[in-house]
């Protein structure tokens, strides 16, 4: 219950970034994200709809290359990575 409330509260405040040096464009994050945040563009996985992110962290869990960084907008500290 608290987890759902947390995800609702931070929606629109999450900054999702892909480290292009680490990303292998495997597409696992696209499949894992139910909010359609990631898409393939010109052969690369990019963040297309970052404002839809609810901070569930599933993308970070499936990225074995640790290429996804999740932080709160206007805050320095990463909450995942």
In the region spanning residues 19 to 58, those forming contacts with ligand SF4, defined by CB under 6 A, are 23-29, 32-33, 35, 37, 45, 53-58
Angle subtended at Cα 52 by Cα 48 and Cα 55, rounded to the nearest 5 degrees:
110
Q: How far is CA 33 from CA 62, 75, 76, 77, in A?
A: 10, 23, 24, 22
Beta carbon of residue 61, minimum distance to ligand SF4 (angstroms, whole number) = 8
DSSP letter assigned to residue 51: G
Which residue's CB is nearer to ligand SF4, number 26 or number 72?
26
Contacts (CB under 6 A) with ligand SF4, residues 7-26:
16, 18, 23-26
| Strands (DSSP E) found in 10-77 | 14-18, 38-41, 44-47, 68-72
Residue 71 engages ligand SF4 in binding (rule: CB under 6 A): no
**Which spans of this chain sit near ligand SF4 (rule: CB under 6 A)?**
16, 18, 23-29, 32-33, 35, 37, 45, 53-59, 62-63, 65, 67-68, 70
């Amino acid at each position: 219950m608290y987890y759902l409330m947390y995800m609702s509260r931070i929606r629109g405040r999450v900054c999702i970034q892909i480290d292009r040096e680490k990303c292998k464009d495997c597409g696992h994050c696209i499949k894992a994200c139910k909010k359609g945040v990631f898409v393939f563009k010109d052969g690369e996985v990019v963040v297309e709809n970052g404002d839809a992110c609810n901070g569930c962290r599933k993308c970070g869990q499936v990225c074995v290359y640790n290429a996804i960084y999740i932080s709160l907008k206007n805050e320095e500290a990463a909450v995942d990575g």
